[in-house]
Amino acid sequence: MFNNQPKGLFALALANTGERFGYYTMLAVFALFLRENFGLDAGVAGAIYSTFLGLVYFMPLIGGIMADKFGFGKMVTIGIMIMFLGYLLLSFPLGGDTVAMVVMLGALIFISLGTGLFKGNLQVMVGNLYDDPKYADKRDAAFSIFYMAINIGALFVPTAAVEIKEWAETTLGYSSNDAYHFSFAVACASLVLSIAIYYIFRPTFRHVEGGVRKAGDTKVEDNLTPQETKARVVALCLVFAVVIFFWMAFHQNGLALTYFANEFNVKSAEGPQSMLFDVWNLVAIIIGVYAAFSFFQSATTKGKSISGVIFAAVLAFLGYRYIGAENASIGISAPIFQQFNPFYVVALTPVSLAIFGSLAKKKKEPSAPRKIAYGMLVAAAGFAVIAIGSFGLPTPDAQAAAVAAGEEPVLVSSNWLISTYLVLTFAELLLSPMGISFVSKVAPPKLKGMMMGGWFVSTALGNMLVAVGGFLWGGLPLWLVWSVFIVLCLISALFKFAMMKRLESATK
């Protein structure tokens, strides 16, 4: 999995991990912050949330166009600086008046612009590492590793966001609303770490940063005919069209699924199940998974021995925690559920790579477009899980009215959300890293920045449509809310399969 990869991959992945940790820490509490700090209803808060997500993923198009002219590395550096300014503005507790709203909106613009310059161009640089024939056959695996690194940062986010907020409330005496700003301040620190990693390890990837082309410089090599270029751009646009609806559904994890966790999920975990809400137990499971894979893949007795000892230590640790959890009872807050998606991504990435590696050896590995289509089907199944768990529940409006009247709310087991995130993660692993890899492979050389930006524009459009979840939240039965996303994912999958021949021919 990690063998024979260029060193630049790991440097770029770690730089991205720091930035994503800060971004997801902010995002974990942002929707709840909008409602509690400014008194916004679910629909308005959802509109701001989804518009921000849309800008974050639209701006890479601008960043990509600029990078094609001025260089990827330069745009990455400028992007981090602009993001830092945005998170710094969010860190100040200014209250909930008009001035605070204006400052917050200004901060969101800085963050989205900075992310646009940083995120897509960093991923283009990763792809450029694999233009070298020596590494060409490792492109899909590389983007899976890169995607896994993003989620290592995101794994600790919910715990960090909740504990920092609680620390600000209990230790420093800040109000609930002002305490949110301490979670936002974490993003500032994480960006400092990100840029430090970038410049310390820059020699390992500097050759793919690009730069301003001067007179006499060698032009980007592009041996495609105009017809081939057009075919590739059309194929990419067809992929982008499908991706819109995936992200519209998937990013309900920060909106409708978070609302569900806040209003309909039980408020505590008892016994062994409480172990799932301790991030260190999840980290131990991840270490155990990687130790197991290392044991079977290691070519030396020493390697197998070390892996075996680590795996045994993980089992002992989890066994000890299990015994201590028999009578445990811990409180559950809504943001904590967002740790499960990155946990599943990190834990399941080696499983995914092993499966597709085995299929590749048998010449049966699905193409990237086909994996994306399968991902849409799996996403529909994920929302089917939460739809089943929602049958018999009152509408959100009815639940709120009952609570206001002093009645006990109707709550469901945490297992419904945990299972939903598991299935949605399978969909994500089939779609997101494979899609990015597909773009980096198929994009015409002179349009790499723009085409990677196009991937993010499709993500932006999907994120702007996330607001649909907020506007549906209220008077409709919950199973009907989730069914909207099921239908959209199924339609997208069918469209993808209908276009499959055209998509696969563009990669040949």
Rama region for 212: left / alpha / beta (φ>0; ψ in -120 to 50; rest): beta
Q: How confident is the model at residue 215 (pLDDT cuts 50, 70, 90)?
A: very low
Q: What is the CATH number of domain 7-205+228-267+332-505?
A: 1.20.1250.20
pLDDT by residue (tens digit) across 382-440? Answer: 999 999 999 999 999 999 999 999 999 999 999 999 999 999 999 998 888 888 888 87
Torsion of CA 32, 404, 399, 38, to 10 degrees: -20
Torsion of CA 221, 458, 60, 429, to 10 degrees: -80
Q: What confidence score (pLDDT) does residue 222 get?
A: 60
Residue 218 confidence (pLDDT) above 50: no
Closest alpha carbon to 96 in 168, 175, 169, 187:
175
Q: What confidence score (pLDDT) does residue 251 get?
A: 86
Residue 217 confidence (pLDDT) above 60: no
Q: How confident is the model at residue 294 (pLDDT cuts 50, 70, 90)?
A: confident
Would you say 126 and 143 are in contact if contact means Cβ atoms under 8 Å apart? yes
Closest alpha carbon to 127 in 463, 461, 435:
435
Q: What confidence score (pLDDT) does residue 494 get?
A: 92
- The predicted model gives 316-320 an average pLDDT of 94
- The predicted model gives 58-69 an average pLDDT of 84
- The predicted model gives 59-79 an average pLDDT of 86
Which residue in this structure is represented by tokens 């310390």?
200
Q: What confidence score (pLDDT) does residue 508 get?
A: 62
| 214-218, 265-269, 348-352: least confident range | 214-218
Residue 265: strand, helix, or coil: strand
Q: What confidence score (pLDDT) does residue 211 get?
A: 62
Q: What confidence score (pLDDT) does residue 473 get?
A: 92
Q: How confident is the model at residue 5 (pLDDT cuts 50, 70, 90)?
A: confident
Q: How confident is the model at residue 485 (pLDDT cuts 50, 70, 90)?
A: very high
- The predicted model gives 228-237 an average pLDDT of 85
- The predicted model gives 190-201 an average pLDDT of 88
Q: What confidence score (pLDDT) does residue 82 get?
A: 93
pLDDT by residue (tens digit) across 38-54? Answer: 888 877 888 888 788 77
Q: Going by DSSP bridges, is the β-strand pair 329-331/268-270 parallel, antiparallel, or unpaired?
A: antiparallel
DSSP sequence for 46-112? HHHHHHHHHHHHHHHHHHHHHHHHH-HHHHHHHHHHHHHHHHHHHTS---SSHHHHHHHHHHHHHHH
Residue 212 confidence (pLDDT) above 60: no
Question: Which percentage of the chain shows pLDDT scores above 70?
Answer: 96
Q: What confidence score (pLDDT) does residue 380 get?
A: 96
pLDDT by residue (tens digit) across 128-154? Answer: 888 777 877 777 778 888 888 878 877
Cα angle 439, 444, 447; round to 5: 85
Cα separation, 434 vs 214, in Å, equals 34
